[in-house]
Amino acid sequence: MIMKMRTLFFSKTGNAQIISEKIARENKCTSDQIPPAYPCENEKVLFVCLEIGNTAPKQVVDFLKNLNPQRSKNVAFCLLTKTGSRGIADLKELLAPTGVNAVENVFERQLKGGLFRKASITEQDLLDAQKWANDVIESLKD
């Protein structure tokens, strides 16, 4: 049985979108930006892929605050940062009053860039993200 899921992203550079679309393609589900064009409904898991600095963007905060168990039972976070993440606890805290479970297994990747080179994901990052998504899916099977 296929699990009902969706991937969502908030991406300024396109890196989170690439990972979101890879996970969606491999798991035959849809990928959409945050806020999504169509509301989530009865999803077993939402994969939320973000490029994040010290704080989450307002659109992401508003989206997470408005989730409920009828929209999604679980949220799994994929975080891409330039300087390392300090925001995962804050993201999980946003979900606490909603009744939606924040999956413990978080995918975090610090992107490497340079003075003249944009930080970008690698093929290995995509493979690691897909393995992480598969692990999350396996952990949520009934």
> Domain total for the chain?
1
**Residue 1: per-residue pLDDT:** 46
Does a structural domain hold residue 115?
Answer: yes
CATH number at residue 34: 3.40.50.360
Are 49 and 11 a contacting pair, CB within 8 Å? yes
Does a structural domain hold residue 107?
Answer: yes
At 66, the pLDDT band (50, 70, 90 cuts) reads very high
List all residues 6 or more positions away from 111 whose beta carbon is below 8 Å from its beta carbon: 15, 80, 81, 82, 119, 120, 121
- The one-letter code for the residue type at 74 is N
Are 47 and 79 a contacting pair, CB within 8 Å? no
Residue 68 above 50 pLDDT?
yes
Does a structural domain hold residue 142?
Answer: no
Q: How far is residue 124's CA from residue 142's CA, in Å, rounded to a whole number?
A: 30
Q: How far is residue 115's CA from residue 69's CA, in Å, rounded to a whole number?
A: 44
Domain assignment of residue 9, given as a range: 5-136
Does a structural domain hold residue 100?
Answer: yes
At 32, the pLDDT band (50, 70, 90 cuts) reads very high
Does a structural domain hold residue 42?
Answer: yes
Q: What is the pLDDT of residues 85-142, one digit of tens each?
A: 556 788 888 899 999 999 999 999 887 665 555 668 889 999 999 999 999 999 998 6
Does a structural domain hold residue 141?
Answer: no
